Amino acid sequence: MGMSNYYKDLREKLGGDLIFIPSVAGVRNETGEILFQNKGNGEKWSLPAGAIELGEAPAEAVVREVWEETGLHVVPDELLGVFGGKNFRYEYPNGHKVEYVVFVFDCIVKGGEHNPIDSETAELRYFSVDDMPQLALPYPKSIFAERENQKTVFQWDGK
């Protein structure tokens, strides 16, 4: 669906300057493989992801974003991790700069087909943790590993 009116309005006011965007990502299949998206524009691979809209809860946003970018109907099952900060800054090919705070969810696929609704996806492919492509954002591989009795990962220096 592309950029919402809210973010379009921000961009009109700020141009390509750095903006802070709360966002969501994630989906994995029943065998534990992670679904990644290739936008086909020279960017690195990413999780199906996108911005949380005004008035939208993170879990609602991941359902909407995954559907828009993949054509899959999902239900969030678990919060895998929360990431952000300077390592989650990104510059798009058009020069727009963002700093994401990302809520990464493990989602259960309930239906649908790999048929993106928006124009942001050129290719969708499942990868194992050991065979992941290079990603646009530095998600730790550990969040994608089998997670029986593991806790949510919070990115911070206090470890």
Here the tokens at position 82 are 């929360």
29: three-class secondary structure by DSSP: coil
Q: Which helix (H) or strand (E) holds 154?
A: strand 153-154
Q: Within 13 Å, how many C-alpha atoms sit on residue 139's CB side?
A: 30
Is 12 a known active-site residue?
Answer: no
* CA–CA gap between residue 4 and residue 116 (Å, rounded): 17
Q: Please identify which of the residues 33, 65, 120, 123 carries the catalytic annotation.
A: 123
- Write out the catalytic residue numbers: 123
